[in-house]
């Protein structure tokens, strides 16, 4: 039976009155107060209903509190045991989750319940729903301007050990043998004692980990032969072929080895490192992880956030930057493919950008055209071209259609043509003018029988124009704000621990990364809320200190009031003596 508490329903008595004004003020000024007022009611509780019986069975834990626990656990990088303790004894968590009953029924949650709720959320993509709801609510409360955003990726690791090729093959075989022994002991006993001892002995895997570099080739040859022998030995057994560990052996064989010869005289050879794909298996304990030549094994997270261009430090402190998009990919994925989904995802959430800053990996010509079609100005350097000494396409002048209007020396072409079916341009320049031009020897226009010709496709012309624009002060001024996303990546790691997760597998990694982004939005919003409160409180104290109204509010009322007058164009309210914008 599902249990859902209506947190919008008013209470006859204030359960938190026993805290006193000072402790209550501390809670309201930090993330617990923000979470309780604005986030708790936005959690995707209705999406959890289908997984519980409405009127049968033992009552569940209060669903708002459980979903809030999931978010806070990832935001604070806690284990299940630590989250259980916070739920049981932490006053801040009780206040944030509006847990007003101190009995075990409401404050105790078992680790199994945490695991069960997490699996439901992972299997039904409720982590993304939670991020969307939290982000939209914070954007509304803090009046976030989503027109300017920036995009970048960060490399993260799951809870797996980094293995070399020897360790990979050895652990894959050991995993299969252990599973076979547990599931089909009769078939396991058909394997030679020498093979079993080599991979399941007391110190077998340690021995493979201590292989000397000079012995690596010989060890790889032995491992490849054993791997192939096990695959061939059980290929006719359907119950064995259906095992995941057997499929992992087949995958490792295809990625790491090559089988030479026929069925009877076949031999196994190990591939050279450069022949192995970056999406190959990195560790049998995490089949989804991949390899990045730049950052190593693991996953990567695409992160898009809003930003402000104000130079005023105080104003920047009171402006909330929100993460609007998070996508987890395998480490081998290229950044270029992440840009269109990021824009579409932000648009779906109602927080789409008008201007998007990204590095050159996202700034391919195809992405520029896609972003333009979605109504977004993509500000990104073009990838470096093979520029030679002398004039190139960037030195010519063009009209809005990409047609040449003048050469680097300022001469207009005799004629200019565009072939729409192929997307190519052709411009013809007079030979007599080019003959006396000092730039002729290194000019991109090549001499012909009648004219000097410049032929180019649309894509090269667009890239040339972009490379020319990148040298302007206007581009440098606009693009310099992209660097701020590195601070976000640092916060994302330091505050939530996203770069080193406790889980394995793409679904679990995605769940953690997405909720940690939602948690970072919450922590950032709490800091901005406090900055705004201090600023507005200081102004209020200066304005009203003479007539003693602040003392009266602090000592006697301690509730919410609204003041509207000619000094305050916006509504403001006082909670326990502290003024705050009623956003």
- Tens-place pLDDT, residues 86-117: 999 999 999 999 999 899 999 999 999 999 99
In the predicted model, is pLDDT for residue 579 greater than 70? no
- Is residue 574 a contact partner of residue 561, using CB atoms and an 8 Å limit? yes
**Spatial separation of the C-alpha atoms in residues 29 and 208, rounded to whole Å:** 56
CA angle at 231 for the pair 225 and 234, rounded to the nearest 5°:
135
In 3D, which of 526, 497, 512 has the Cα closest to residue 322? Answer: 526
Q: Which residue has the higher pLDDT, 392 or 128?
A: 128
Residue 515 φ/ψ, nearest 5 degrees: -70, -30
Which residue(s) pair with 579 in the sheet? Answer: 574
The CA distance from 485 to 125, in Å, is 26
Average pLDDT taken over every residue of the chain: 87
CB 514 within 8 A of CB 128: yes
Q: Pick from 448, 445, 450: which is nearest to 404 by CA?
A: 445
Provide Rg for the chain, Cα atoms. Answer: 32
Q: What is the predicted pLDDT for the residue at 572?
A: 43
Contact 70, 121 (CB under 8 A): yes
Buried b (16+ CB within 10 A) or exposed e, 40-74: bebbbbebbeebbeeeeeeebbbbbbbbbbbbbbb
How confident is the model over 213-223, as a mean pLDDT? 84
Looking at residue 359, its pLDDT comes to: 94
Q: Which residue has the higher pLDDT, 509 or 535?
A: 509
pLDDT at 537: 72
CA distances from 268 to 221, 222, 246, 283, 365 (A): 8, 10, 18, 21, 44
> What number of other Cβ atoms are within 10 A of residue 559's Cβ?
11
How far is Cα 540 from Cα 550, in angstroms, rounded to an integer? 9
Specify the higher pLDDT residue, 422 or 141. Answer: 141
Query: What is the per-residue pLDDT across 247-306, written as a single tens digit (0 to 9) for each?
Result: 999 999 999 999 987 666 678 889 998 899 999 999 999 999 999 988 899 999 999 999
Instruction: Write out the H or E segment, with its range, that includes residue 107.
Output: helix 104-107
> Terminus-to-terminus CA distance in the chain, angstroms?
37
Residue 388 has pLDDT above 60, yes or no: no
Q: Give 581's pLDDT tier (boundaries 50, 70, 90).
A: very low
Q: What are the chain's domains?
A: 1-124 (no CATH), 142-160+293-376+481-530 (3.30.420.10), 165-275 (no CATH), 393-469 (no CATH), 531-581 (no CATH)
> In this predicted model, what pLDDT tens digit does every residue of 432-478 receive, in sequence order?
888 888 888 878 888 888 888 888 888 888 888 888 888 899 999 99
**Are 160 and 289 in contact, with CB atoms under 8 Å apart?**
yes
User: Mind listing the pLDDT tens digit for each residue in 414-428?
Assistant: 888 888 778 888 888
What is the reported pLDDT for 582?
Answer: 40
Of all residues in the chain, the percent with pLDDT exceeding 70 is 90
The predicted-structure confidence for 529-563, as pLDDT tens digits, reads as follows 999 988 887 554 444 444 444 444 444 444 434 44
Residue 37: the pLDDT is: 93
Among the listed residues 512, 384, 380, 405, the one whose alpha carbon sits nearest the alpha carbon of residue 75:
512
Q: What is the structure's pLDDT at 263?
A: 64
- C-alpha distances out from residue 454 to 412, 413, 441, 442, 544, Å: 12, 10, 14, 13, 74
Q: Exposed/middle/buried for 173, CB within 10 Å: 0-12, 13-18, 19+?
A: buried
Distance of alpha carbon 579 from alpha carbon 542, whole angstroms: 12
For residue 188, the tally of other CB atoms under 10 A from its CB is 16
Look at residue 266 in the predicted model and tell me its pLDDT.
76
Strands 355-357 and 377-379 come out as: parallel
Dump pLDDT digits (tens) for 147-161: 999 999 999 999 998
CB atoms within 10 A of CB 266: 11
Count of CB atoms situated within 10 Å of the CB of 373: 10
Of all residues in the chain, what percent carry a pLDDT higher than 90? 61
């Amino acid at each position: 039976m599902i249990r859902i508490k209506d947190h919008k329903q008013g209470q006859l008595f204030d359960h938190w009155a026993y805290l006193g004004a000072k402790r209550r003020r501390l809670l309201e000024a930090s993330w617990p107060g923000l979470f309780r007022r604005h986030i708790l009611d936005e959690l995707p509780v209705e999406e959890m209903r289908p997984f519980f019986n409405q009127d049968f069975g033992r009552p569940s834990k209060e669903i708002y509190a459980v979903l809030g626990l999931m978010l806070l656990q990832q935001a604070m990088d806690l284990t299940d045991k630590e989250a259980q303790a916070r739920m049981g004894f932490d006053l801040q968590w009780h206040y944030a989750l509006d847990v007003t009953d101190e009995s075990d029924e409401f404050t105790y949650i078992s680790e199994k319940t945490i695991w069960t709720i997490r699996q439901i959320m992972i299997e039904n993509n409720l982590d993304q729903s939670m991020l969307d709801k939290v982000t939209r609510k914070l954007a509304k409360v803090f009046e976030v301007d989503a027109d300017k955003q920036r995009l970048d990726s960060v490399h993260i690791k799951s809870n797996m050990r980094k293995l070399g090729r020897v360790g990979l093959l050895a652990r894959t075989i050991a995993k299969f043998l252990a599973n076979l022994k547990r599931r089909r002991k009769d078939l396991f006993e058909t394997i030679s004692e020498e093979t079993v001892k080599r991979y399941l002995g007391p110190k077998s895997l340690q021995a493979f980990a201590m292989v000397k570099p000079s012995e690596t080739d010989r060890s790889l040859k032995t491992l490849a032969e054993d791997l192939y022998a096990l695959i061939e030995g059980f290929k006719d057994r359907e119950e064995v072929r259906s095992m995941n560990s057997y499929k992992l052996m087949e995958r490792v064989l295809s990625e790491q080895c090559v089988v030479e010869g026929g069925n009877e005289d076949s031999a196994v050879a190990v591939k050279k490192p450069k022949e192995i794909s970056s999406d190959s298996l990195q560790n049998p304990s995490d089949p989804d992880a991949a390899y990045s030549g730049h950052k190593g094994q693991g996953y990567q997270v695409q992160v898009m956030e809003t930003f402000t261009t104000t130079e005023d430090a105080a104003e920047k402190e009171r402006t909330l930057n929100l993460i609007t998009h998070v996508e987890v990919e395998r480490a081998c994925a290229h950044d270029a493919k992440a840009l269109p989904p990021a824009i579409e995802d932000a648009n779906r959430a109602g927080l789409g950008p008008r201007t998007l800053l990204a590095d050159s990996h996202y700034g391919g010509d195809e992405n520029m055209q896609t972003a333009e079609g979605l109504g977004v100005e993509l500000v990104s350097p073009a990838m470096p071209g093979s520029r030679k000494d002398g004039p190139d396409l960037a030195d010519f002048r063009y009209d809005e259609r990409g047609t040449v209007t003048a050469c680097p020396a300022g001469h207009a072409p005799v004629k200019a043509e565009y072939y729409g079916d192929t997307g190519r341009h052709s411009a013809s320049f007079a030979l007599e003018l080019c003959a006396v031009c000092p730039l002729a020897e290194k000019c991109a226009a090549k001499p012909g029988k009648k004219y000097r010709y410049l032929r180019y496709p649309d894509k090269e012309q667009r890239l040339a124009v972009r490379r020319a624009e990148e040298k302007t002060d206007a581009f440098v001024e606009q693009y310099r704000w992209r660097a701020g996303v590195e601070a976000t990546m640092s916060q994302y790691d330091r505050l939530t621990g996203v770069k080193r997760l406790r889980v394995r597998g793409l679904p679990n990694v995605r769940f953690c990364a997405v909720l940690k982004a939602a948690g970072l939005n919450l922590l950032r919003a709490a800091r901005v809320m406090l900055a705004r409160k201090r600023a507005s409180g200081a102004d209020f104290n200066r304005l009203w200190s003479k007539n003693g109204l602040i003392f009266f509010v602090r000592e006697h009322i301690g509730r919410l009031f609204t003041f509207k007058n000619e000094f305050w164009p916006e509504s403001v309210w006082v909670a326990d003596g502290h003024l705050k914008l009623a956003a």
